[in-house]
Amino acid sequence: MMDVQQIKQRFGIIGNSYTLSRAIDVAVQVAPTDLSVLITGESGTGKEVFPQIIHQHSARKHGPYIAVNCGAIPEGTIDSELFGHEKGSFTGALSDRKGYFEEANGGTIFLDEIGELPMSTQVRLLRVLETGEFIRVGSSKIIKTNVRVVGATNVELEKAIRDGKFREDLFYRLNSIPIKIPPLRERIEDIHLLFRKFANDFADRYRMPAVRLDDEARMLLEKYRWPGNIRQLKNITEQISVIEKQRVLSAELLKQYLPSHAGENLPALLGTQEPRGDSNFSNEREILYKVLFDMKRDMNDLKKLVLEMLQHGGEVNMQGEHAQIIRNLYNGEGEILKPAATAAPTVAFTPRHDEHTIEDTEEFIEESLSLEEKEKELIEKALEKHNGKRKSAANELGISERTLYRKIKEYDING
C-alpha cells in the first residue's frame, strides 16, 4: 500500500498539515471496504480528489468511476440522469436510457453536492444504498446494481435535516465513514507552499518569471481567511502572475487582490487554527468574557466593602446587592469560596484584620480570572458530567466537537 506522501504525489495534492494527511489516511483505510463515504468541507477545498483516491485503492479500481454534480442537474431531470428512463416516460424521452447507477455497475459513483438532491430523489437513493435496487423512470422493472457510493457536500447536512431539506435516514446511511477536508485557513503552513506551486505553474504556462512575496506579503497571505480556499488562492495567484510586472510583491500590493467586502473576509488571527467566523467559537469566548467581567465587578465591590468594614471596626450594614455578593463569594467564616463550592446564604461576615489574609485574597482573584483556567475548568466539568462523552460535552458547552477536541489537546485534559 502506498504511503500518504506517495498518494500526494500521485494525485497532485500539495500540503503537509496534519489534518490533510489524516483525511488522506482515512480515505486509504476505508477504500478496500464497500462502505459509503461522506466527504464534507467548504467549497474550494479539493473534495473531488478524495473519491478518486478511494476508487483507485479499492477492489473496484478496474471498474467505472462516474462523478456527478447533483447541484448542476435540474430537479425535473435528475431522477432520469441517475436512474435512467423508459421510452415515452416523459416528453422528450425518445428512447430507453441507462442512468449513472446502471452505467457505474461494478465501480464507484461520486455524488458531489449531495445536499442539493430533491427529497424524492433522496428516497430513491436510500433504496439503492440499502438494497442495491432501483427502478427507471416510467418503468416497473427492478434493476440490480453493485455500486460504491461516495457523497460530498459543502453544506451542514445536520442543519438541512433540521430544516426538513435532507432525510435523516439517508444521512446516517451515507455517513458510514465521514471524511472532513480542512479549510485553507486551518492549513496555515501550506498556504505559501501552494502559492509557490501555483506561481511556478503559471510562470511555465505564460512563459514569464514566477512571482514571489516579500516577508510582509507572505505574512499577510497566511493571515488571510481564504473563504474560497484553494480555488480562490489559485485564481488570485494567476491574476497576480498575469497583471503585475514586478515579480516580488509587497504586502501593500497583495492587499489589492484580497477582497474584504462586507467585513466577511477579514484576516484570520495569526497563529490560530480557529476561524473568526465560527459562531461556536465566538459564543464560547463571549460567554467566558461575560462571566469574568461580572466576577471582576463583584470583586471590586467586595474590596470596597471590606475597606469600609475595616474603617468602621468590622461593623457595617450589609443589605441588598452587597449582601448578595457576600453570599456568593464567602462562607460564614470570612473564607473565600472556591468556584465549585456552595455556601449557606448568610449576611453575617467577620473579616480577619491581618493584612496577610487580604493579600491572599488578591492572589486568589488573579488566579481565578485566568481565561485559560476557566476554560479548562468548564471543559473538565462538562466531560465529568457526561462521563467523558465528548459530543454531549460539546453540546453542553455550546461549542463544536472540533473546538472541544482542540481545547482538550491544548490544555492536556484527560477525558
Distance, in Å, from the CA atom of 24 to the CA atom of 320, rounded to the nearest integer, reads 61
Task: Kindly report the backbone phi and psi dihedral angles of residue 332, in degrees, each rounded to the nearest multiple of 5, phi listed first.
Answer: -70, -5
CB 133 within 8 A of CB 143: yes
CATH class of 4-182: alpha beta
Contacts of 140 (CB under 8 A, 6+ apart): none
Enumerate the H helices of 106-167 as residue ranges: 119-131, 157-162
Distance, in Å, from the CA atom of 304 to the CA atom of 362, rounded to the nearest integer, reads 13
For the stretch 187-212, pLDDT in tens is 999 999 999 999 999 999 999 999 99
CB atoms within 10 A of CB 359: 10
3-state secondary structure of 163: coil
For the chain, the C-alpha Rg in angstroms (whole number) is 30
Lowest mean pLDDT among 63-72, 125-134, 212-221, 393-402: 393-402
Enumerate the H helices of 58-134 as residue ranges: 78-83, 100-103, 119-131
Distance, in Å, from the CA atom of 112 to the CA atom of 104, rounded to the nearest integer, reads 15
44-71 exposure pattern, b = at least 16 Cβ within 10 A, e = fewer: bbbbebbbbbbbbbbebeebebebbebe
Residues composing the chain? 415
For the stretch 255-308, pLDDT in tens is 999 987 433 444 544 444 444 444 444 455 556 656 666 676 777 777 777 666
Q: pTM here?
A: 0.62
Strand partners of residue 135: 142
The more confidently predicted of residues 83 and 366 is 83
Q: Let me know if the fold of 4-182 is the same as that of 186-263.
A: no
User: Grid coordinates in use for 6?
Assistant: 506517495
Distance, in Å, from the CA atom of 378 to the CA atom of 57, rounded to the nearest integer, reads 43
Task: Kindly report the backbone phi and psi dihedral angles of residue 223, in degrees, each rounded to the nearest multiple of 5, phi listed first.
Answer: -85, -20
Domain range annotation of the chain = 4-182, 186-263, 283-368, 371-411
3-state secondary structure of 201: helix
For the stretch 69-112, pLDDT in tens is 999 999 889 999 999 999 988 888 889 999 999 999 999 999 99
Fold adopted by 371-411:
Arc Repressor Mutant, subunit A (1.10.10)
CATH class of 186-263: mainly alpha
